[in-house]
Structure 1
Amino acid sequence: MDHLDANQQPTKVARVVDLVRGMVHDGRLTEGDPLPSTRALAGELGLARGTVTAAYEQLDGEGYVVLRHGAVPRVAATLGALSTAAPPAGAAGLRPGAATAPVPTVRTVPPAALVDLTPGVPAVAAVSARDWRAAWRQAAAQPLVAAYPDPAGEPVLRTQVANHLALSRGFAPDDGRVVVTAGTTEAISLVTESLARRTAAPRVAVENPGYRAGRRAVASAGGAVVPVPVADSGIDLDALRAAHAGERLDAVLVTPSHQYPLGGAMPVAARHELLAWAAAEDVLVLEDDYDSEFRHRGSPLPALAALDGSGVVVHVGSFSKVLDPRLRCGYLVLPAGNTVPDGGAPAGAGIRAARSGRGATVASVTQHALAHLMSTGALRRHVARCRRDYRTKRRMVAETFEGVPGVRVRALDGGLHAVLELEDTPTADLVARLADRGVLVADLQDYAAPGSGLELNGVVLGYAPPSGTELRAALRTIRTELGPAPPS
């Protein structure tokens, strides 16, 4: 959505955005062309520098330009099939650096070009190349050590994770409570394995619909998966208590900050209620805090671990939704006090034993590179850039489907994905038709626990990886497949 004033007239920011868009579309600005600095363009157009900065940030989020700290702004890589419209008024005043733009070559993308909107992947290409290379150089420069690595993880990364949680999630664990894992799924598997040391086939409640890989991790570690329905604000606590009353639960896996996939956020009162119940019933709470860095609306809610006074929460985090899932690196934080309420086998000790039994699963060089990204502020800068980008893309999704009959848009308060709940459109047919047109999305039904009887109709789409122009085109394709727009 372009910036509008009270009379619905484009603001100065919107006019700068339209100016650059127009020059890209008519070919006078092409891939890789440098743009004037914010100061230079502001002087040239007689605008405030902040106006140009805001316009550049919007264009960056839409995928037209690439902004990097300390680098010249440039036109983004291939923008797909762009129309050759007449330039907007005033476009001649913008010069890409000191050079004259070459005669344009209009780039097109074949109709079958693939835009993958399946969820779960961040904007990997948004990572600063300079910061990324510096982190791996520093990691490679570490001295070789003739010893096996600490199964709990490299101390330097555990310290950085503890500092990160203190700044961003409201609790400051001792770094001795931090255990490095090969992502969220291994963390869940480790916890389930630790519970199996106390109880054969521990029963673990999971949200339904919910995180598919989490269910598989529980089952692969010998646990019994117990699906529990979710409400608009997260797991249904009444249904959770009923499941426990039927047959005792050993743990519950929740995504309280941004329920996956439906997107609800558990209110603070419900968080306290869950923790009090878990402490009274000796149930371990696995808090999957998978994308808490990307809260787009409302104030961030405290992590369950920040409210835990009884030592019942295992906090689980990952770098997969922040940087790159191929790193396969995450962490868990052992419960405060490392004990369970009834004085039984210490929960923390069981997890440590499971970790030691498997040995280290994340390469030391990867851990050192991540620690460098965190200690230098590079990760924080990357998250800030992505947050701006995701907010712009979130707005595209909301605007595309606003007011569409039979469509409810969910999960837009945070994260990297959106859910389109559909009243009448058969989902399987829609997913197949979209794939034929080069747009991949996920079927919401796939997130229901098998055999639970839960029936869902909708699609899940991830909006982080594609450029703004790719996303815009893909959303238009989805909108077309949902039926013609009503006459204006």
Structure 2
Amino acid sequence: MDQSSKVSVVVARVRSLVHDGTLRAGDPLPSTRALAAELGVARGTVVAAYDQLDGEGYIRTRPGAAARVLAGSGVPRPSTGRASAHLPAVAAPGDTGDAVGLADPSRPGDPSDPGDPGNSGDPGDRAVVDCRPGIPAVTAISDRDWRAAWRAAADAPLRNALSDPAGLTALREQLVAQLGLARGFTPSVARIVVAAGTSEALSLVVEALRARLGRAPRIAVEDPGYRSGHRALTSAGAEVVPVPVGADGIDLTVLARTPVDAVLVSPTHQYPLGSVMPVGQRRALLAHAAATGTVVLEDDYDSEFRHRGSPVPALAALDTDGVVVHLGGFSKTLDPRLRCAYVVVPSGAVGAAVLAARTARGAVVAEPVQVALAHLLRTGAFRRHLGRIRRDYTHRRERIAVRLATSGVPGLEARALTGGLHAVLTWPGPGTGAAVLARAAADGVLVADLADYETVRGRSGNGVVLGYGAVTLPELDRALDVVLAAVRATGADPG
């Protein structure tokens, strides 16, 4: 048996022990060295198996600590006052080192088995699986790194002073370095403004445009698009103008004949449909903006998670005319409850207006939060965290792609899987997204209706948006089972 097969057998065995309840949430696993010795396989085999199980959401590995079970019944085993390092019922292989017999993947408890307890029973007795988009894997960050960041915040000296409205210099310096590494441009610290989330950042820009124009700005938005962002624009007094989205992002032909003061786009991974704006289209958008005096608001909300294809440069990295206002933040990479985003303003009148608006409003993000984030960036903990969750999200994305490709639902399409934390499922026929959402919710799975992202109803057809950032692989399997059954039951086109 080759190395890959041995890894697969170890993975299947641990999965089955989780699914049948032998291993429960919180249980420790043996060290890779101990389990390799017990099974008579190379330690690298167990390391690879643990790495795959971590990526699938069954276990969580930590440097210097025992791997522990994440998935399972969801009920931690009562503490006995000491951790067990024994993996129950794992039979050692024969003298040949062959791992055959370590697991029988068809036994009850395997994810593909219809008798799996995770896929049966009364829905009323089961926990709700929340697959609504916008929830990242908050708990994936290293406990050690997270605690160290907040210790750094607690250790920061107290001072009798007001916070800098633009944000702490230490955080803004680290953001410059991160943007240079990840997005291909290095603005000056003076061009970065800290905001309380993307919605506050957008309202800040609207305030700046109102002051500069002397009237309510007209802002083109993608349709379907980022509904919370659209509400932030209108709440701040802007007039929102919906523009349809095509395979390459916002329709530039429609935009060219639509007089607006600014345009809000998500070019790296259009929200929610997932289209990626090619470089040629990006340059065309920037040329149009420069020629017409239009401000381009670039929502770079999840550019860190590119699952397929080469990284695409930020619009701000291509901007030679000072027309792009770049928006980024930590809601998708760390925790939306931090309420911390940032704005990179261009040089010139627009940038000066945003800085003036920020100064007038004052500081909005607590200094301890900014110190903690600066620590995560400065020490490399943030980049280590991104590396871990990229792997996790890629595993889940691949699982969705395989499941949908073999779903047997005629006309079912999956979109937005090139990156990010969500997938869009669309289908022909009379079954609406609202009907699928309601049926899935009755079975304990929460998703979003694609129609809720539209300004002009009916542009995108029937569909739902399924977030996979915060769910384990077993929860994702259950969610897909429920959603696909709901699509069939509510009337997908039989073909």
Specify the TM-score bucket, using the shorter chain as the normaliser: 0.7 to 0.9
Equivalent position of 1:315 in the other structure: 326
For residue 316 of structure 2, the aligned residue among 284, 305, 310 is 305
For residue 233 of structure 1, the aligned residue among 248, 268, 272 is 248
* Cα distance between partner residues in 1 of 2:333 and 2:318: 24
Cα deviation, residue 50, structure 1: 3.9
For residue 64 of structure 1, the aligned residue among 30, 50, 58 is 58
Equivalent position of 1:359 in the other structure: 362
Equivalent position of 2:474 in the other structure: 469
Aligned residue type for 2:16: G
Cα deviation, residue 406, structure 1: 2.4
Please give the per-residue CA displacement for 1:245-272, whole angstroms capped at 9, x wherever unaligned: xxx3111110000000000111111111
Equivalent position of 2:446 in the other structure: 440
Percent sequence identity over aligned pairs: 58
1:262-411 alignment runs, 5 A limit: 262-335=273-346, 338-339=347-348, 346-403=349-406, 404-411=409-416
Which segment is superposed worse, 288-297 or 272-281?
A: 272-281
Aligned residue type for 2:131: L
1:202 aligns with 2:217: yes
Aligned residue type for 1:226: V
Aligned residues: 448
Aligned residue type for 2:28: P
Equivalent position of 2:263 in the other structure: 252
* Cα distance between partner residues in 2 of 1:147 and 1:395: 50
For residue 479 of structure 1, the aligned residue among 474, 484, 491 is 484
* Conservation of the 8 A alpha-carbon contact between 1:419 and 1:458: yes
Please give the per-residue CA displacement for 1:41-87, whole angstroms capped at 9, x wherever unaligned: 34544544444333212211222211123322122254459xxxxxx
Equivalent position of 1:191 in the other structure: 205
Aligned residue type for 2:442: D
- Structure 2 residue runs of 5 or longer lacking an equivalent are 76-88, 94-115
Aligned residue type for 1:120: G
Please give the per-residue CA displacement for 1:2-49, whole angstroms capped at 9, x wherever unaligned: xx99xxx97332122112112333444333333233344345445444
* Conservation of the 8 A alpha-carbon contact between 1:79 and 1:470: no
Please give the per-residue CA displacement for 1:199-231, whole angstroms capped at 9, x wherever unaligned: 211111110100001111111121110111111
Aligned residue type for 1:14: S
Please give the per-residue CA displacement for 1:321-374, whole angstroms capped at 9, x wherever unaligned: 111111100001111xx12xxxxxx11110011111111110011100111111
SS of corresponding position for 1:92: coil
* Cα distance between partner residues in 1 of 2:52 and 2:123: 27
1:153 aligns with 2:167: yes
Task: Output the aligned Cα RMSD.
Answer: 2.4
Cα deviation, residue 186, structure 1: 1.2
Aligned residue type for 1:354: A
* Conservation of the 8 A alpha-carbon contact between 2:224 and 2:245: yes
* Conservation of the 8 A alpha-carbon contact between 2:220 and 2:240: yes
Which segment is superposed worse, 353-362 or 12-21?
A: 12-21
* Cα distance between partner residues in 1 of 2:225 and 2:55: 29
* Conservation of the 8 A alpha-carbon contact between 2:19 and 2:117: no
Distance 1:79 1:61, change over 3 A: farther
SS of corresponding position for 1:66: strand
* Conservation of the 8 A alpha-carbon contact between 2:40 and 2:92: no
Equivalent position of 2:91 in the other structure: 92
Distance 1:419 1:452, change over 3 A: closer
* Cα distance between partner residues in 1 of 2:293 and 2:58: 53
SS of corresponding position for 2:66: coil
* Cα distance between partner residues in 1 of 2:191 and 2:44: 44
* Cα distance between partner residues in 1 of 2:32 and 2:288: 55
* Conservation of the 8 A alpha-carbon contact between 2:306 and 2:418: yes
1:111 aligns with 2:134: no
Equivalent position of 2:13 in the other structure: 19
Distance 1:429 1:325, change over 3 A: same
Which segment is superposed worse, 46-55 or 278-287?
A: 46-55
Equivalent position of 1:431 in the other structure: 437
* Cα distance between partner residues in 2 of 1:37 and 1:61: 17
SS of corresponding position for 2:204: helix
Q: TM-score, normalised by structure 2?
A: 0.86
* Cα distance between partner residues in 2 of 1:263 and 1:377: 29
* Cα distance between partner residues in 2 of 1:44 and 1:276: 64
* Cα distance between partner residues in 2 of 1:110 and 1:379: 41
Cα deviation, residue 135, structure 1: 0.9
